[in-house]
Chains A and B, each alone.
Chain A
């Protein structure tokens, strides 16, 4: 890469003739990229990824077992600008320069889909893994609805999506790129025009299929030369064909069935649509304690026959302490639907444990599916340092499959909810009954009535009566 070469030369010069002659990556490095994928429906998916890598000075003794996993999940969290603000503060350039100027909350939340993530992981720097680097990756994915954001027009541009254009790269970034997926729309066919025309393209096998990307490098000074800003535009010459999008090899669905507020059944459907390959899937379920699972009713069926998992781990729940944890490795046969179902009973919570709006229901966190899905096109082993970030989020050394982590939908179940207005109703009713029944008796028993003689009246009354007799009106 052109940008890296001068850096390497400069480092060599600094080290002088005595030092070792090899190129080294900077100690703390930031790479940022934006991937724009037009979807067959006309929507546009945009994914930001920022990677910060730094070396840890600590030396570890030996190879520690890093397979201990703690899993915690909050089933429902409203994501809004208040979540984006601390996420943006982790970025070195914040929202001042580079790709992060596009992160404007009022556009990012007016989308069909929004997802933010922070991944931290250690990377071994030598074979024995005694010295490590830390990698912090922040990803943000949005899907813009063509009709809401684009006002019905299928042409899109960076300005229309984000209400901003790119002006300069982040000075702290060693790489800052925008990739546009042009796999289905090649320039020769005259279906689509990408403006400004890309200087380079990148081709690779991503998620099992061969894809082509137009690359715009913000660090390339020729890119933002003329108008001081980069506004990528995609114009459709011909309207896009309405073809059905390809079905992914692995997808899943989850639902609660049953009736009433006592029992229910939790079912997960796993679809393997690959025509001839079977592959294993790791299913992780974390169900809150107030859905008491009956593990003896756990059934896994594929194509009508029972399917025994290769590995199963179940940790029962403890009331108010920890949720159920069920982890299974299931072999999905080719071209089949596997149903994993388990029955549960709903618990009655203590009245202080209900949320202020308990009739809305309680959320159950989604199941997590991890799988190595076989690719349609085998990928050749890549140099992970050189490939773009979206290829190395879940890198797989063997090119014949790619790693996928799926989340099913979160569920909403109603628990038996007491009527919280009852204490008030009871107080009103009892007080009324007591006041009417006992009160009347009390009054009858303790009150005495005296008859009072009316007073005969004074002088004024006699004068008034005199005048009234004169007028012919009856006396007082």
Chain B
């Protein structure tokens, strides 16, 4: 049956099944604290905004911001984070959901999110619940160096740890394909050590180069964005969920004349040709719909409803609803003190009393013992 249908499928069907992933996730990390690192938060929020606009829902985005810039007391316009000077674009938006904030952005939490080794009490919004058919976008920004990335000015993650984390993800089948973008100084050093398949990596600068920031805003007083992410944001603003732009365009997004540093990329671990990989494979969300001809019959709920109404009528609804007393002073004062269970003394107290009794009987003689027993 299926074979018969395949002859009449339109040419778009080939593209439909081309990529092999069924869901998209994004892990966006800003690792810098303090007001003068405003641009790192703006970088992460611009990628968040683009990814959300292209269809990935909040439940599939793990956003980690190491500090709060929007409601920082030094922000002249609260609840906003701007990416362009003259305050054109508020990337903080009206419905942002930050999953890891402030002190929770640590190397340990980041690696736990990636590998899935999370304590059972973690809420769902803080987990990366990807499977072997997920395409994951990982974006990191902050201050970095040759082979490391600094988290919150107090700890670092090395490129070897990151590569091992990705290998754990591969072995646990937590991704189908992974796109890793990093915007820090000497960013290319972070992807040098990757060895797991299906990873494509982009960085804003090569080893030995610094990534530069874009433009300061005189009213806010800090640099608003980094150059690489600024041009990536401009590129992504042109993309819509149906566009056919591929990865090769993303590699060319920031030439040396605009970025001053040389962006790099790594595709040797990736199985598909970058020109066949759509931008929306990672930045957008896939909604694959499977049409079925089976029908499911829903049970009749009417008998449940009638019994519900009977319960309702039995109650005495005429009595007014009663709130609990707010401050029951009389009950507080006249509480009986709780009787604590008596435990026999142990350890130090027991040893101390034994010593005292021994010394007593040594000084005053053993004849007093018979008065005890």
- Complex formed: what's the CA distance from A133 to B323 in Å? 11
**Known contacts A282-B332, A384-B320, A385-B321; A82 and B98 CB within 8 A of each other:** yes
B315, A131: Cβ atoms closer than 8 Å: yes
| B:308-329 near A, CB below 8 Å | 308, 311-313, 315-327, 329
B68, A329: Cβ atoms closer than 8 Å: no
Interface residues as binary, B87-117 with A (CB distance below 8 Å gives 1, 0 otherwise): 0001011111110011100000000000000
**Known contacts A79-B71, A80-B68; A356 and B103 CB within 8 A of each other:** yes
Interface residues as binary, B68-82 with A (CB distance below 8 Å gives 1, 0 otherwise): 101100000111100
- Complex formed: what's the CA distance from A129 to B325 in Å? 14
- Complex formed: what's the CA distance from A356 to B143 in Å? 15
**Known contacts A85-B97, A110-B77; A397 and B325 CB within 8 A of each other:** yes
B315, A125: Cβ atoms closer than 8 Å: yes
Asked if A81 is an interface residue, CB under 8 A from chain B, the answer is yes
**Known contacts A125-B315, A311-B332; A78 and B324 CB within 8 A of each other:** no
- Complex formed: what's the CA distance from A51 to B102 in Å? 32
Asked if B152 is an interface residue, CB under 8 A from chain A, the answer is yes
- List, in ascending order, chain B residues with CB within 8 A of A395's CB: 323, 326
B317, A24: Cβ atoms closer than 8 Å: yes
Which of B71, B312, B318, B320 has most chain A Cβ within 10 Å?
B71
In angstroms, how far is the closest chain B Cβ from the Cβ of A367?
A: 16
- Complex formed: what's the CA distance from A105 to B71 in Å? 11
Identify the closest chain B residue to A354 (Cβ).
Answer: B154
Identify the closest chain A residue to B98 (Cβ).
Answer: A82
Size bracket, chain B contacts: 35 or more
Identify the closest chain B residue to A310 (Cβ).
Answer: B333
How many A-B pairs with Cβ below 8 Å? 116
Asked if B39 is an interface residue, CB under 8 A from chain A, the answer is no
A110, B313: Cβ atoms closer than 8 Å: no
A85, B96: Cβ atoms closer than 8 Å: yes
**Known contacts A106-B79, A109-B79, A124-B321; A403 and B327 CB within 8 A of each other:** yes
In angstroms, how far is the closest chain A Cβ from the Cβ of B217?
A: 17
A124, B322: Cβ atoms closer than 8 Å: yes
- List, in ascending order, chain B residues with CB within 8 A of A280's CB: 329
Identify the closest chain B residue to A131 (Cβ).
Answer: B315
| B:330-363 near A, CB below 8 Å | 332-333, 335
- Complex formed: what's the CA distance from A78 to B41 in Å? 15
**Known contacts A24-B312, A110-B79, A124-B322; A78 and B102 CB within 8 A of each other:** yes
A110, B78: Cβ atoms closer than 8 Å: yes
Asked if B174 is an interface residue, CB under 8 A from chain A, the answer is no
- List, in ascending order, chain B residues with CB within 8 A of A311's CB: 332-333, 335
Which of the residues A66, A104, A123 comes within 8 Å of B322, measured between beta carbons? A123
- List, in ascending order, chain B residues with CB within 8 A of A227's CB: none
A370, B79: Cβ atoms closer than 8 Å: no
Which of the residues A82, A126, A420 comes within 8 Å of B316, measured between beta carbons? A126
In angstroms, how far is the closest chain A Cβ from the Cβ of B100?
A: 11
Asked if B33 is an interface residue, CB under 8 A from chain A, the answer is yes
Interface of A is mostly: loop
- List, in ascending order, chain B residues with CB within 8 A of A241's CB: none
Asked if A146 is an interface residue, CB under 8 A from chain B, the answer is no
A372, B333: Cβ atoms closer than 8 Å: no
- List, in ascending order, chain A residues with CB within 8 A of B70's CB: 80-81, 109
- List, in ascending order, chain B residues with CB within 8 A of A110's CB: 77-79
Asked if B268 is an interface residue, CB under 8 A from chain A, the answer is no
Interface residues as binary, B251-294 with A (CB distance below 8 Å gives 1, 0 otherwise): 00000000000000000000000000000000000000000000
Identify the closest chain A residue to B155 (Cβ).
Answer: A356
- Complex formed: what's the CA distance from A133 to B319 in Å? 13
| A:89-140 near B, CB below 8 Å | 104-106, 108-110, 121, 123-127, 129, 131, 133
A109, B324: Cβ atoms closer than 8 Å: no
- List, in ascending order, chain B residues with CB within 8 A of A133's CB: 321
Asked if B153 is an interface residue, CB under 8 A from chain A, the answer is yes
A282, B327: Cβ atoms closer than 8 Å: yes
B321, A356: Cβ atoms closer than 8 Å: no
Asked if A9 is an interface residue, CB under 8 A from chain B, the answer is no
A22, B97: Cβ atoms closer than 8 Å: no
B329, A329: Cβ atoms closer than 8 Å: yes
- List, in ascending order, chain B residues with CB within 8 A of A55's CB: 312
Interface residues as binary, A58-96 with B (CB distance below 8 Å gives 1, 0 otherwise): 000000001000000000001111100110100000000
- List, in ascending order, chain B residues with CB within 8 A of A370's CB: 326-327
In angstroms, how far is the closest chain B Cβ from the Cβ of A399?
A: 13
A121, B94: Cβ atoms closer than 8 Å: no
- Complex formed: what's the CA distance from A310 to B328 in Å? 13
**Known contacts A310-B333, A370-B327; A81 and B321 CB within 8 A of each other:** no
B326, A396: Cβ atoms closer than 8 Å: yes
- List, in ascending order, chain B residues with CB within 8 A of A121's CB: 323-324
A356, B33: Cβ atoms closer than 8 Å: yes
Identify the closest chain B residue to A108 (Cβ).
Answer: B79
Which of A82, A106, A403 has most chain B Cβ within 10 Å?
A82
- List, in ascending order, chain B residues with CB within 8 A of A109's CB: 70-71, 78-79
- List, in ascending order, chain A residues with CB within 8 A of B153's CB: 356-357
Identify the closest chain A residue to B90 (Cβ).
Answer: A106
Interface residues as binary, B181-225 with A (CB distance below 8 Å gives 1, 0 otherwise): 000000000000000000000000000000000000000000000
- Complex formed: what's the CA distance from A106 to B70 in Å? 10
B79, A78: Cβ atoms closer than 8 Å: no
Identify the closest chain A residue to B68 (Cβ).
Answer: A78
- Complex formed: what's the CA distance from A108 to B77 in Å? 12
Asked if A457 is an interface residue, CB under 8 A from chain B, the answer is no
In angstroms, how far is the closest chain B Cβ from the Cβ of A29?
A: 12
A126, B333: Cβ atoms closer than 8 Å: no
B103, A355: Cβ atoms closer than 8 Å: yes
Interface residues as binary, B37-58 with A (CB distance below 8 Å gives 1, 0 otherwise): 0000000000000000000000
Question: Which residues of A does B touch, CB under 8 Å?
Answer: 19-20, 22, 24, 27, 55, 57, 66, 78-82, 85-86, 88, 104-106, 108-110, 121, 123-127, 129, 131, 133, 280, 282, 310-311, 329, 355-357, 370-372, 383-385, 392, 394-397, 403, 420
Question: Which residues of B does A touch, CB under 8 Å?
Answer: 33-34, 68, 70-71, 77-80, 90, 92-98, 101-103, 152-154, 308, 311-313, 315-327, 329, 332-333, 335
Given A106-B77, A126-B315, A357-B153, 19 more A-B residue pairs with CB atoms under 8 Å apart are A20-B313, A57-B308, A79-B71, A80-B68, A80-B70, A81-B95, A85-B95, A85-B97, A106-B79, A110-B77, A123-B323, A125-B315, A125-B319, A125-B321, A282-B332, A329-B333, A356-B103, A370-B327, A392-B323
Query: Could you show 13 A-B contacts with beta carbons less than 8 Å apart?
Result: A19-B313, A24-B317, A57-B308, A78-B68, A81-B70, A121-B324, A126-B316, A310-B332, A356-B33, A356-B152, A372-B329, A384-B321, A392-B323
Q: Report the 5 A-B pairs with minimum CB-CB distance, sorted nearest first.
A: A80-B71, A109-B79, A356-B152, A403-B326, A356-B154
